[in-house]
């Protein structure tokens, strides 16, 4: 069946190519690439034009649409170009016409368009049936002498017309107007340069073809954009003009205007090249709408016929210079521009500097002027020969008239004159075609004067053709003439150095208090005080609960620590503002986190002060102290290492503001107190040392700083709060097991899950505390943790429904770090006064445990 179908297809098709697809595609694409590189997207180094631009200008010239002639409809021009030279869509032709007419895209526009030809706000031009156009004076200088066989012509697409492969180009258009395009494997981005500077550089190159790059570049100061602005980066300009590749910064031109007393406005008069003004104004205004800059009152586009003007009104007392720098940093008021000077040289694309481009242009001009000189020389010699015949004719005029009257026709007249007086065929033709009225004023002196002028012109043309020095002088004279007629003052200011702008975004944020909530499941929310006060309930997922809840400033920073030893650096103002009853933002949407990563501690920081330490502790008892300033970073798009962990270890506790003691508590109820000076300080990415010895069946749950006079509370898995005193814990050296302060039952034991320091100030002020279970969070005050002496503490919730998870107590006014200057001397303990767990052997190797817990009654 398949073979029958193939046979039918074979009979139907006239030609079948039996070749691998990759070969066909490769060959076809290679031809297509060659075409779009050479004949579509990249400019020729000689005239700086792409084929469509060249065809448009040539067609308009053929239509006689010079700069001082009437306009013609753009649709007629596009039709002429499409029908004769450019077999593509009329929209691509019209778009190229429009661009060549826009004075905000072209430094020297090549087309003078009458009507709406678009705007710097991104408005498109009116349809081609509405607009009219003609050549500009500059375009005429590109086309000048094209009728004198100066450039090669080739047949058009249907072999019915001839079109030029390049224009004579009386100024280096590739540098003056620049170019932009993308082809297969190549792209070009050449900015415009000042015509006067480019001409001066070209003349300097003509004078010395061995001129150095540095000297040549001294003539061209840098790009000169039609939209003006300020360019920064002299080194980038030098690199680009030498190699064809380099980076510069373009900045808008602005000034600060006083509106009223202590109130200013920023005024923008020039914007970077090829920027959409309307989008720029919108992006600046969005900073105001999104409240990223609070000090902007209004952004207005006041552009009119007098010129561009964008006004940014500021609030009273606002720092205009700071806001302007922020706008440079955050909007397109300042952009980077990358040179990529790729052009077609000898039918091949090259990325080159200024020197090869000028050399290509000068070689082209030598060829153009040589061709023109040959054309004019032939013409002058012919005219000289005719003038010689006319002068001779004047002396025998009467006899010539008689011969012509006796002749039967023109050919007979010519033949008789040639035989009688020895005129050549060309001279005889000129005589017999001479109109009768010319005989009345044929002046022998005028003819002799003309003959003298022609002889002089012929000598000069011969000099051009035989002496390169004269040829160069002609090129220089014509360049100077173009400069006089087309040159204009520089619009763009060049600054040597790129100004480094460093903006602290916090300076843009008002110092306003907000409510921050962080949940155990990893949701972070920021709400205004009004939203918080208006909400009856907090928005939480099922079984989620707060582990951090505090009123803090927008200017604060959250350090969110995870069990994997990482921390997430989150400026408060960067957190999305939400209602208090919303869920908040999942931490994984702020920065990427591992699936097994969970939040274990949240610390808010106003200033990263070097005198403040953080205490970090792991499940296996490793601890370290780290300066708070070590946690400050400028880039925070991912989680940052806060402590290096050993295998099978986790970070469980982070505490801030160093005090004399460090208290470590384990799950099995052991407590260790040692002096802060005993624990070394390490960097944020380092590991720690053994702070508390942990048994195989135990793990550290919390470590915190404490004063001697402080209490501390512990939350058990069964939801009990147990309160104890720091002073009752004996001071040991670190790396000890400590003493048991919570005796666990054999069944359903009171494992410790969390703990917190409780100072006298906090008790006196009765501060708020969060008690988080596996199901919810209880907001209580610390006075509710009081209980009568019971070794298993106070029951806070039903242990059959939920389990203890985390306890958080709000800081009080005494949260000031204590500077630990030196390590104290080793303390020798009195065995009687030390409260330790001892083992004593009594009758038949039975062990009994002595502990201060024996002072309490069982529950």
Q: What is the predicted pLDDT for the residue at 769?
A: 92
H helix or E strand, kind and range, residue 653: strand 651-656
H helix or E strand, kind and range, residue 182: strand 179-182
Could you tell me the CATH number of the domain that includes residue 54? 3.90.199.10
**623 in the same domain as 598:** no
Domain residue limits at 673: 611-833
Mean pLDDT of 282-293: 89
Q: What is the predicted pLDDT for the residue at 848?
A: 41
Q: What is the predicted pLDDT for the residue at 79?
A: 95
**511-558, pLDDT tens digit by residue?**
789 999 999 999 999 998 888 888 878 888 888 989 999 999 988 999
DSSP state of 726: G
- pTM greater than 0.75 (yes/no): no
DSSP state of 574: G
Q: What is the predicted pLDDT for the residue at 708?
A: 92
**77-90, pLDDT tens digit by residue?**
999 999 999 999 99
Q: Pairing relation of β-strands 752-758 and 711-716?
A: antiparallel
Q: Is residue 33 part of a domain?
A: no
Q: What is the predicted pLDDT for the residue at 827?
A: 38
**469 in the same domain as 422:** yes
Give the domain-ending residue among 332, 348, 376.
332
Q: Is residue 666 part of a domain?
A: yes
List Cα–Cα distances, 542 to 519, 520, 594, in angstroms.
11, 12, 22
Residues annotated as part of the active site: 130
Q: What is the mean pLDDT of the chain?
A: 88
List Cα–Cα distances, 689 to 292, 640, 645, 646, 769, in angstroms.
44, 20, 11, 11, 31
**690 in the same domain as 581:** no
Mean pLDDT of 309-337: 92
Separation between Cα atoms, residue 564 and residue 652, nearest integer Å: 9
Of 612, 516, 542, 579, the closest CA to residue 810 belongs to 516
Q: What is the predicted pLDDT for the residue at 537?
A: 82
Q: Which segment of 192-196, 445-449, 742-746, 845-849 scores lowest on mean pLDDT? A: 845-849
**402 in the same domain as 415:** yes
Could you tell me the CATH number of the domain that includes residue 448? 1.10.268.10
Check pLDDT > 60 for residue 430. yes
**755 in the same domain as 621:** yes
Q: Is residue 233 part of a domain?
A: no
**445 in the same domain as 401:** yes
Separation between Cα atoms, residue 689 and residue 624, nearest integer Å: 6
Quote the number of domains for the chain: 5
Dihedral sign for Cα atoms in the order 473, 479, 485, 487: negative
**673 in the same domain as 822:** yes
Q: What is the predicted pLDDT for the residue at 439?
A: 66
Q: Is residue 36 part of a domain?
A: no
Q: Is residue 181 part of a domain?
A: no
Q: Which segment of 218-222, 234-238, 846-850 scores lowest on mean pLDDT? A: 846-850
Q: What is the predicted pLDDT for the residue at 53?
A: 96
Q: What is the predicted pLDDT for the residue at 30?
A: 86
Q: What is the predicted pLDDT for the residue at 810?
A: 81
Q: Is 628 in contact with 656 (CB distance < 8 Å)?
A: yes
**474 in the same domain as 534:** no
Secondary structure class of 366 (helix, strand, coil): helix
Give the domain-ending residue among 271, 306, 332.
332
Could you tell me the CATH number of the domain that includes residue 742? 2.120.10.90
Q: Is residue 390 part of a domain?
A: yes
**131-169, pLDDT tens digit by residue?**
999 999 999 999 999 999 999 999 999 999 999 999 999
Q: What is the predicted pLDDT for the residue at 402?
A: 86
Mean pLDDT of 310-339: 92
**730 in the same domain as 766:** yes
Of the two residues 558 and 14, the one the predictor is more confident about is: 558
Q: What is the predicted pLDDT for the residue at 285?
A: 94
Q: Alpha helix locations (H) across 208-276?
A: 213-219, 234-243
Q: Please, which pLDDT band fits residue 645 given cuts at 50, 70 and 90?
A: very high
Q: What is the predicted pLDDT for the residue at 318?
A: 87
Check pLDDT > 60 for residue 20. yes
**472 in the same domain as 524:** no
Separation between Cα atoms, residue 851 and residue 741, nearest integer Å: 8
Could you tell me the CATH number of the domain that includes residue 326? 3.30.1360.40
Q: Please, which pLDDT band fits residue 821 given cuts at 50, 70 and 90?
A: low
**742 in the same domain as 698:** yes
**Block residue for tokens 């303390």:** 827
Q: Is residue 205 part of a domain?
A: no
Q: Is residue 16 part of a domain?
A: no
Q: Please, which pLDDT band fits residue 855 given cuts at 50, 70 and 90?
A: very low
Check pLDDT > 80 for residue 753. yes
Check pLDDT > 60 for residue 500. yes
- Structure token pair of residue 745: 């039952």
C-alpha torsion angle, residues 154, 157, 158, 160 (rounded to 10)? -40
Q: Going by C-beta distance under 8 Å and a sequence separation of 6 or more, which residues neighbour residue 832?
A: none
Q: Which segment of 22-26, 94-98, 557-561, 563-567 scores lowest on mean pLDDT? A: 22-26
Give the domain-ending residue among 551, 583, 606.
606
- Structure token pair of residue 160: 């019915």
**320 in the same domain as 304:** yes
Q: What is the predicted pLDDT for the residue at 788?
A: 74
**434-444, pLDDT tens digit by residue?**
776 666 656 77
Share of the chain above pLDDT 70, in %: 92
């Amino acid at each position: 069946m398949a073979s029958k179908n193939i046979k039918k297809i074979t009979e139907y098709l006239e030609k079948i190519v039996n070749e691998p697809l990759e070969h066909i595609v490769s060959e076809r694409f290679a031809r297509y690439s060659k075409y779009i590189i050479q004949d579509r997207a990249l400019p020729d180094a000689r005239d700086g034009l792409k084929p469509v631009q060249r065809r448009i200008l040539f067609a308009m010239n053929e239509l006689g649409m010079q700069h001082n002639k009437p306009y013609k409809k753009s649709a007629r021009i596009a039709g002429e170009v499409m029908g004769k030279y450019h077999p593509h869509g009329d929209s691509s032709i019209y778009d190229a016409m429009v661009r060549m007419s826009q004075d905000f895209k072209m430094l020297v526009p090549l087309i003078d368009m009458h009507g709406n030809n678009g705007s710097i706000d991104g408005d498109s031009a009116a349809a081609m049936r509405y607009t009219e156009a003609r050549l500009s004076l500059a375009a005429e200088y590109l086309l000048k002498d094209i009728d004198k066989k100066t450039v090669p012509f080739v047949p058009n697409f249907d072999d019915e017309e001839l079109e030029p492969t390049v224009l004579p180009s009386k100024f280096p258009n590739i540098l003056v107007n620049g170019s932009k395009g993308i082809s297969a494997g190549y792209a070009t981005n050449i900015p415009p340069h000042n015509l006067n500077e480019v001409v001066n550089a070209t003349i300097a190159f003509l004078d010395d073809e061995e001129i150095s790059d540095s000297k040549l570049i001294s003539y061209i100061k840098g790009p000169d954009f039609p939209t003006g602005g300020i360019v920064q980066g002299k080194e980038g300009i030098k690199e680009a003009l030498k190699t064809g590749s380099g980076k510069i910064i373009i900045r808008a031109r602005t000034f600060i205007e006083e509106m009223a007393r202590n109130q200013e406005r920023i005024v923008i008069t020039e914007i970077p090249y090829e920027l959409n003004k309307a989008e720029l104004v919108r992006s600046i205004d969005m900073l105001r709408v999104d409240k990223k800059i609070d000090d902007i009152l209004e952004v207005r586009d006041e552009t009119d016929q007098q010129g561009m003007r964008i006004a940014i009104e500021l609030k009273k007392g606002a720092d205009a210079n700071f806001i302007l720098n922020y706008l440079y940093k955050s909007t397109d008021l300042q952009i980077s521009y990358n040179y990529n000077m790729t052009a077609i040289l000898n039918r091949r694309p090259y990325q080159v500097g200024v020197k090869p481009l000028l050399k290509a242009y000068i070689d082209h001009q030598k060829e153009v002027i040589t061709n023109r000189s040959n054309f004019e020389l032939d013409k002058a010699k012919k005219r000289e020969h005719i003038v010689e015949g006319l002068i001779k004719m004047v002396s025998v005029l009467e006899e010539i008239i008689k011969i012509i009257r006796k002749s039967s026709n023109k050919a007979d007249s010519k033949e008789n004159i040639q035989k009688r007086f020895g005129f050549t065929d060309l001279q005889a033709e000129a005589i017999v075609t001479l109109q009768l009225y010319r005989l009345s004023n044929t002046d022998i002196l005028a003819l002799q004067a003309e003959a003298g002028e022609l002889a002089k012109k012929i000598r000069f043309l011969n000099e051009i053709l035989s002496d390169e020095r004269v040829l160069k002088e002609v090129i220089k004279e014509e360049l100077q003439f173009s400069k006089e007629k087309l040159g204009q003052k520089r619009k763009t200011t060049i600054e040597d150095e790129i100004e480094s702008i460093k903006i602290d975004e916090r300076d843009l944020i008002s110092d306003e208090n907000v409510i921050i909530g962080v949940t155990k499941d990893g949701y972070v929310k920021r709400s205004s005080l009004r939203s918080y006060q208006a909400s009856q309930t907090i928005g939480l997922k099922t079984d989620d609960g707060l582990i951090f809840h505090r009123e803090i400033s927008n200017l604060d920073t959250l350090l969110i620590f995870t069990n994997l030893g990482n921390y997430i650096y989150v400026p408060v103002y960067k957190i999305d503002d939400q209602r208090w009853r919303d869920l908040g933002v999942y931490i994984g949407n702020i920065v990427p986190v591992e699936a097994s990563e969970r939040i274990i501690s949240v610390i808010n920081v106003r200033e990263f002060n070097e005198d403040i330490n953080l205490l970090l502790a792991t499940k296996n008892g490793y601890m370290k102290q780290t300066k708070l300033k070590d946690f400050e970073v400028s880039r925070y798009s991912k989680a940052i290492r806060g402590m290096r962990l050993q295998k099978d270890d986790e970070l469980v506790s982070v505490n801030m503001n160093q005090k004399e003691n460090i208290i470590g508590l384990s799950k099995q109820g052991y407590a260790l107190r040692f002096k802060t000076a005993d624990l070394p300080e390490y960097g944020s990415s380092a590991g720690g040392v053994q702070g508390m010895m942990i048994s195989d069946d135990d793990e550290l749950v919390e470590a915190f700083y404490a004063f001697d006079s402080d209490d501390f509370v512990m939350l058990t898995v069964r939801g009990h709060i147990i309160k104890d005193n720091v002073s009752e814990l004996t001071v040991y050296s670190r790396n000890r097991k400590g003493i048991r302060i919570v005796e666990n039952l054999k069944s359903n034991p009171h494992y410790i899950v969390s703990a917190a320091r409780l100072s006298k100030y906090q008790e006196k002020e009765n501060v708020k505390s969060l008690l988080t279970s596996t199901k919810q969070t209880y907001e209580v005050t610390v006075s509710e943790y009081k209980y009568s002496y019971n070794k298993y503490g106070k029951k806070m919730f039903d242990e059959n429904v939920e389990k203890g998870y985390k306890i958080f107590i709000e800081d009080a006014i005494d949260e000031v770090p204590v500077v630990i200057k030196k390590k104290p001397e080793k303390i020798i303990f009195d065995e009687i006064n030390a409260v330790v767990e001892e083992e004593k052997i009594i009758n038949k190797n039975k062990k009994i445990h002595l502990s201060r817990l024996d002072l309490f009654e069982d529950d």
